[in-house]
Amino acid sequence: MRVEDLRAAIATIVLPEIPKLLTLLDRTAVSPTYGCFDRAYWHYRMIDFPCGMSQEFVLPLALVHALPAIPGNRYHGDPAIRELAIAGIRFAARSSHPDGSCDDYYPFERAAGAAAFSLFAILEAAEILRLPADPEIDGFVLRRARWLAAHTESGRLSNHEALIVSCLERARLRCPGAELETALTERLARLLGWQDAEGWFDEYGGADLGYLSLTIGLLADLDRRRPDLGLRPPLARAIDFLAHFVHPDGTVGGEYSSRSTLNFFPFGFETAGAWHPAALRVNDQALRPLLEGRVPCYSDDRILAHHLWGWLFTLRAFQEKRGIDSDPASGRHWFPGCGLFVERGPTPDAMLVAAPARGGVYKAFAQGRLVRSDTGVTLATRGKGRVAVCHLGGAAVRVEANRMLCEGRMAWAKGTKLTPAKNAVLRLLMLSAGRFFPDLVRRLLQRVLVTGRSDAPFRFVRSFMRDADGTWTVRDEIHADEGWSDVALAGISGHQTSITTIMARVYQADQLRPFEDLTARLRGLGDREPLVVEHRLAKGDAPPWAA
């Protein structure tokens, strides 16, 4: 891999997004919302508070202003871009709550994720732009850093914790004498306590490969800044774990991991590659979609910034001296702690990765291509149109030499939508008691949208059987407790998710495959007869629709 190729790829994907950032930004210097990146707030006036996460866009602007090694970068050294990035920092300071926190999805939310992502971007941008001491900016930085240090959000989100630690280290340097070192070491110990012996960091009770790559990136950067913290052993374990799940086509993650993301943040693997060669081997594979123009579409106002600065950090950290390319080792690995199974082989371009505990969601690759992605049988009912799925977790699992079995009860997919009445209730709640107890509201919403589960009147059994030649056959049995008369649609999708994860449900080219409609198979089934579906996974040429 050559740095010139990476520069060209990053220029192709990053630079066309900069005009979008500038469109999202209020660029009128005399405007009271000058520097706000939330166009829905300052321009359309559709919401009644600015999203604090939006101010993260100051970092991509600062990077394209400062990085010279991007071909065709007309923004390099442009004083207007510098001034707009600073305006974004100042708006973040002016629009935050008095304690330094900010909101993301509803007023008085005080969202740790939005506060940490945007503060990380602000501190990094201030460093890149070499901003001198400034009472408004530094006072805000200190308030937010202290709020993050003292705040513990509900749920385990390791990437948020890694961001908080990164913010505390940067704020410590920006504001000498602020005495943030104790808070930093305490929050870092908390994060390291969330690492499983298998190597992954907890994201809502499991391993999510996309968020894990971000956690690795932030910890690798912290290790570069603070080698005294002893982060290399936990980093090496995390990198070695993720290395098992880089697909033969270079993609990473998907619906089988705990938060169903398709993210990949490469910058930490470049940084760690200076002392852990396995990290560069990961990137030699996982950067291929970027170099070949196959990355998922992240052009969403709330998640785009993460990837823009992540790619630019990768270019900044690129290790030009790399080892000899090597194929990942073949073999099978079962990680019971997070419920993930992977088998690579018999050749390096073949792979099966599955999450038996999530109902057997899987992806299969042959000849370096995805030949099947399967998120389990799904049933849409009549009347209220509720949807039953197998992939919300909780399945009983048995993994043997040539067989995997997962069975359990299907659950209702999480499809709760905001209505005018619900929105009014939420606003009234947050304007009254909710503003004093935002974490309680967050826990309730997490249960509704992410962690809670409501059983459906259907049971599933999914089995994986491996033949003597190594070919896998997947068999589904679905049993209806109350018969099939209430089922309007049955089928299998390759990319269905049923929880709310902000970075999930992005578009990736291999998702353009038809829904496998099984409804016709229900006709003639007796109420006690199961729906049975079987797939034999291709070893040779991919089926025509997989091209």
In the chain, where the domains are located? 3-317, 332-414+452-541
pLDDT at 441: 74
Residue 476's nearest CA partner among 340, 367, 379 is 379
Please state the pTM of the whole predicted model: 0.94
pLDDT at 45: 94
Distance CA 382, CA 436 (A): 41
Distance CA 479, CA 474 (A): 17
pLDDT at 542: 43
Work out the burial of residue 454: count CB atoms within 10 Å of its CB; fewer than 13 is exposed, 13-18 middle, 19 or more buried.
exposed
Within 13 A of 416's CA, how many CA atoms are on the CB side? Answer: 14
pLDDT at 325: 67
pLDDT at 448: 63
For the chain, which residues score pLDDT lower than 50? Answer: 541-547
pLDDT at 539: 64
pLDDT at 385: 82
Work out the burial of residue 520: count CB atoms within 10 Å of its CB; fewer than 13 is exposed, 13-18 middle, 19 or more buried.
exposed
CB 506, CB 297: distance < 8 Å: yes
pLDDT at 451: 62
Distance CA 26, CA 32 (A): 9
| CATH of region 3-317, choose from 1.20.120.1200, 3.40.50.2020, 1.50.10.10, 3.40.50.720 | 1.50.10.10
